[in-house]
Structure 1
Amino acid sequence: MDKAMGGFFELELRKGQPLFPGARAYNLARSAFQALLIAQKVRRVWLPHYVCAVMPDAARAIDVEVVRYGLDAALEPASLPSLAADEAFLYVNYFGLKDAYIHDTLVKRLRHGLIVDNSQSLFSAAEMGVPTLYSPRKFVGVPDGGWLVNGPVDLPSATPGQSADRFEALLGRLAGPPEAHYAAFLDVEHALGAEGLRGMSGATAQLLDSIDYPYIEQRRRDNFSVLHDALGPINQHGGLNLAPAPALCYPFMAADPDEAARLRQTLLSERVYVPCYWREVLSEPGVPALERELAGRLLPLPIDQRYGVEDMNRLAAIVIDSHPRLATEPWNQNHNDCP
């Protein structure tokens, strides 16, 4: 079909460059994960207990056996398996803070079969030859989107998804308060989950190519630094290196689940919306104690590119004012024997 000329205008976008040239584009990171498992003929995949439930569900939906593993206080596997040729081991780059561990340990010990999940770390480069998943929709305002870097050369193409009717929440948030458009956001999340394995929509691909990624990376790093300067002394996340990074969030660990719940409610009353990663971990059978602690005590504080120093100072003040006294023992000291 010949290219159309004239007529009404489409949404005007800056002509930019893709963040990961050559990446295979999907509607969701979980779809990229499924496509990779299918292409590599994976029979069994190792997944952490501390991961969104959609990942084990995605593997089981294509008849891949799932084996779960535990983490230590540094959010690193308590032990590493010897992988068979048809097995894979997925590791989450938690909060975008585990680049060094992936490079120094996992790549050397598990290069065969390793999958890195960078859904929380958009600005971490993929290790050479290691299949790596990204979820740009966790970092920027797009209606769908997942990337697979270093996938098999002969990976089959996926039919693109559609996003034309999924902009209500994005446009509404642009023009007004988020509360009025939260239901529309949830509708999109449900529709994407029901869509199944699809390629990225054309609209999302163009939106992602138009984004100023260096600005976003620097703003997130700066915001992380401001929050850590203020909250680092009272952050109970003693096992994790919190060096400033262009992370998904600032991971603040409260002293116990009750304190976390109270602080979450205080933040909500101040219109600061903080998710739970991941609530289902609290009730899933067989989850180790450390992962339950993470789900119950972690507050992923927003540091994204919409905010600056003044916003971070306000956020830090809310946290500090709500917690005049926090536990003095580091969070990880009681969990050295976690499996």
Structure 2
Amino acid sequence: MNIIKKIIISTFILLLIVCGKTVLADAVEKKSFTMILIPDFSFQEVKWLKENGHFLELWKSGGLSAVNIRPDGPYSYLNNMVTMASGARGLGVEGWNAFIKGETENGVLVEELYQQWTGTVVDEGIIFHPLLHKLVDKNKDTSYRSEIGILGQTLKEHGISSYVIGNSDAGTEKVRYGSLLTMDKEGVAKGSLQEATKKSVESPWGSVMDVGYIFETLNTIQTSLDPAFTVVEWGDIHRLYKQKGNMTQTHFTKQYELTLVRLEQFLNELLTNGYAQNVMLLSPMVNTDAYQNKERLAPLFYWQTSAFNDRYYLYSGTTRQKYVVSNLDIVPTVLDFLRLMLLLPFLGVLYDQKWITTSRLKLD
């Protein structure tokens, strides 16, 4: 009898270990979410990629919707990002940006300016935002009272790491808004701003995204058992449009096509080589050409796996329209994916997936 009991107990323990590992692996996969943030990306670029790209299945698979990215005030990358990151209509402040220790503004170390303005001494190895207090105060006075840093703070309090990689800097103009999605309420974020770009004399503003560095960083995050939310701010298209006014049309067209092909290659390798799963591509603003042509809804793609055989559109109760969602829905969707949705009330609602083929996608 004792032998039988031992066999039963041993079998039960073995099942627990095997099932436990399966559940753990599944949970880790579910709790790793990567957002590719691409300012100036519009449906004009999507159309070009669908017609001329090298990986056409990429654009025919996963989830697709258009995002209403209207902010509380004037249309701008910063205003749109404040709204998107707080889950409520919001406004930016002049001079807002993210910095690391050692950077300067007008010849003065930014960490010294931050200490002079707030009395705060900046720690080593963090990303900080010297004008956080002004951004918080400004949005307290709006009708929507956006909570700055609400997403990053919520993730931090529940043990989910968040990272930002990259920038949209154009020459001496610093543009680092991806950290609005990952910073906590103290304005502190983790990640790398400068390392994710490299010098490229022939590229707009002499800079291009460093794909090798990005993959190396994502691989480190992906192989960790800790849940994580990662934002990659892919600034190449923004840099191109910032320099368009001084370019010949012929050279702009050449750079435009090269920039889109490079983006597509990055996304295909990202998904097929296992650097990330559960990937959302999101444009926080469309370029001036698309905007002036009244193509003002921004593209959103979502791929859960690299199989490229699932096709569906994302639906939101906020807009109640097929293929159209709201920028207010981004934060609730991220939190729901990370199993934290019920913690906070938001104006937006999480996305639902509506199938447009008979293919299936595992939701839970």
Q: Which bracket does the TM-score occupy, shorter chain normalised?
A: under 0.3
More strand by share: 2
Q: Which has the higher contact order (CA 8 A, sep 6+)?
A: 2
Larger radius of gyration: 2
Query: If the length of structure 1 is used for normalisation, what is the TM-score?
Result: 0.27
